[in-house]
Amino acid sequence: MFPKALIFDVDGTLAETEELHRKAFNLTFKEFGLDWFWDQKLYGELLKVAGGQNRTRHFIETSNPADGPSFIDQVAEIHKRKTQKYGELLTAGEIELRPGIESLIAQAHKTGIKTAISTSTSRINVDRLFAATMGLDVLNKFDAVCCSNDVTSVKPASDLYLLALDQLELAPEECLAIEDSEIGLASAKGASVPVLITVSAYCRDDEFSGAWKIMDDLESGGFKLQISP
Ligand code: XBP
Ligand code: MG
């Protein structure tokens, strides 16, 4: 595989961030006086719905929690506070990158392979994750950063990948997506981008048929970036 660009998913792929997202949701629910609590089992199910606002609405509609109907109109406000809390947790240094991520991005930048982000989370969360790990200088070298703010439909829709391809000015087969989840795979596949899956903690039972390769992580999977001659 000689990709001209690597398109990275964020949550679950760059880092195992979902436990911090879950923590931020639960802290926020408490702050709003709600007795909602997302344990790991429930959160694993809720992750099938990408994007925190969509996920919260889906929870209210399917789990019928106490106070659900009266808070449906406050989902945006709840989510805004959750984003602040998630940022505080990230800034407190509670996260590290998954194996092989930093060196792969460094190698791509050194060898002129383009890089992009395709994520269902918001731009501010991407900025904070980079600030807390590789640094914003690294993010500034990316050729495209496509986030929930930029599209109407997040994953599994393909809008985020189509936008990334447009900004990269490349054909799908010239790129490689790096994803961790079934909905991420569906999103990239829908845009005809080949997908390397690095399975994340919450997505162990996902269905990955149609992926180019599936590995536990970039390092143990021995993924090497080949530079086109
Ligand atoms: C995974 C997601 C995100 C986070 C929550 O995104 O679904 O929605 O769980 O983020 P990725 P927000 O495409 O990077 O795997 O609460 O900021 O929406
Ligand atoms: Mg992901």
Residues 108-152 have pLDDT tens digits of: 999 999 999 999 999 999 999 999 999 999 999 999 999 999 999
Residue among 25, 55, 59, 89 whose CB has most ligand 1 atoms within 8 A, to mutate: 55
Strands 213-215 and 195-198: parallel
At 195, which helix (H) or strand (E)?
A: strand 195-198
- DSSP class of residue 11? B
In short, whether 120's Cβ falls inside 6 Å of ligand 1 is yes
What SS3 state is found at 71? helix
For residues 186 and 189, what is the distance between their CA atoms, to the nearest angstrom?
5
Cα 62 to chain centroid distance, Å, stands at: 23
In short, whether 104's Cβ falls inside 6 Å of ligand 1 is no
For residues 4 and 113, what is the distance between their CA atoms, to the nearest angstrom?
5
Residues 154-198 have pLDDT tens digits of: 999 999 999 999 999 999 999 999 999 999 999 999 999 999 999
Structure tokens at 83: 């984003």
pTM (two decimals) = 0.96
